[in-house]
Amino acid sequence: MSLLTIRNLTVRFATATGSFTAVDGVDLSVDRGEVLAIVGESGSGKSVSMLAVMGLLPDTATVTADEMTYDGQDILAMTPAQKRKLIGREITMIFQEPVASLNPSFTVGFQIEEVLRFNLGLSGKAARDRALELFRAVGIPSPEEKLKSYPHQMSGGQCQRVMIAIAIASNPRLLIADEPTTALDVTIQKQILDLLMSLQEDYGMGLILITHDMGVVAETADRVVVQYKGRKMEEAEVLDLFENPQSPYTRALLSALPEHATGDRLPTVSDFFTEEAAR
């Protein structure tokens, strides 16, 4: 059974020059224990649709959907109090810039214990022990000392591990990761992706991975949704997507990968759209 179901999601932003549609009639669903990748370039609406689920969009945004349900409960009809019970506990999120996501004025230990206090009602030693346990689970070296560190004293990769520890603190059933490795080096990217995948398997979480990187998709996803300019272009099992892409946009994206270059020139997305138009 699906964990999160979204039907016909539209997000509009009121701007000085009129309304701008960032997400246009997108359908999505993710099952328990499934890894769904949402892939697209900047402006494709891939982040906005998930921010809409989390209720993190600014007031200028209008969100409409025929259906937005989590485990059978209607998210759109929820009161703020009901939403607070769900968001940040059952559904959690990590972001692209791990260093910017943490508060520079507090130790990372304080920040993870804060989450444990608010969401799980743990305090004092119980919170400290659980924080330590979580730091170990995400592979932070010498966790006792690191709890006392400030974000600027840690590397980008370690900060992302802290963010992941905070995100899994409440044993969520759905984790949304928005470009979690884009700001990191490739060797660190591999470590973080491996960590996310092993946590996903151990905890049986649903994982939505938002990315622009086809390489990340290839290494992690079960199923893939391709978005372009706010619309869903294609949805497929990961192998089908790479083996036999149906939409011209997906084909264009895949052939624009430098490793797929044939001859001297890289095909570009606009080449594909002209080709399609000529047909």
Partner 1 sequence: MTPVTPVVEGRAIVRDYHVPGSMLRRAKTVRAVKGIDFSVQKGKTLAIVGESGSGKSTLARIIALIDAPSEGELLIDGQRVDIAASRPGPALRSKVQMVFQNPYGSLNPRQKIGDVLTEPLVINTDVPAAERRDRARAMLQKVGLMPEHYNRYPHMFSGGQRQRIAIARALMLNPSLLVLDEPVSALDLSVQAQVLNLLADLQDEMGLTYVFVSHDLSVVRYIADEVMVISEGEAVEQGPREAIFANPTHPYTRQLFAATPVTDVDAIRARVARRKAARQAVA
269 forms part of the interface with partner 1 (CB under 8 A) = yes
Does position 260 interact with partner 1 (CB under 8 A)? The reply is yes
Nearer to partner 1, 141 or 215 (CB): 215
| Residue 279 CB burial class (10 angstroms; 0-12, 13-18, ≥19) | exposed
Q: Among candidates 65, 67, 70, which has minimal Cα distance to 32?
A: 70
Told to check if 56 binds partner 1 by CB under 8 A, we report no
Least CB distance to partner 1 at residue 56 (A): 23
Size of interface with partner 1, in residues (CB under 8 A):
38
DSSP for 55-116 reads T-S-TTEEEE-SEEEETTEESTT--HHHHHHHBTTTEEEE-S-HHHHS-TTS-HHHHHHHHH
Contact stretch for partner 1 (CB under 8 A) within 12-20, 24-32, 137-145, 238-246: 238-246
Among 212, 231, 246, 248, binds partner 1 (CB under 8 A): 212
Tell how strand 223-228 and strand 35-39 pair up: parallel
Helices (H) and strands (E) in the chain, counts: 12, 11
- Residue 196 interacts with partner 1 (CB under 8 A): yes or no: no
Does residue 76 interact with partner 1 by CB under 8 A?
no
Task: Give me the least distance between CB of 7 and partner 1, in Å please.
Answer: 27
Shortest distance (Å) from residue 175 CB to partner 1: 17
Q: Burial code of 171-210, b = ≥16 C-beta within 10 A, e = fewer?
A: ebbbbbbbbbbebbeeebbebbbebbeebbeebebbbbbb
Using the rule CB under 8 A, is 42 a contact of partner 1? yes
Among the listed ranges 68-76, 106-114, 136-144, 179-187, the one in contact with partner 1 (CB under 8 A) is 179-187
Q: Are 232 and 212 in contact (CB under 8 A)?
A: no
Among residues 29, 47, 119, 189, the one that binds partner 1 under rule CB under 8 A:
189
Stretch that binds partner 1, among 17-25, 52-60, 172-180, 231-239 (CB under 8 A): 231-239
Tokens for 65, please give them: 């959907």
Distances (CA, A) of 277 to 198, 248, 274: 44, 11, 5
Tell me which of 222, 231, 246, 248 binds partner 1, using CB under 8 A. Answer: 222
Under the rule (CB under 8 A), what is the footprint of partner 1?
Answer: 33, 41-42, 185-187, 189-190, 201, 212-216, 218-219, 222, 237-239, 242-243, 252-254, 256-261, 264-270
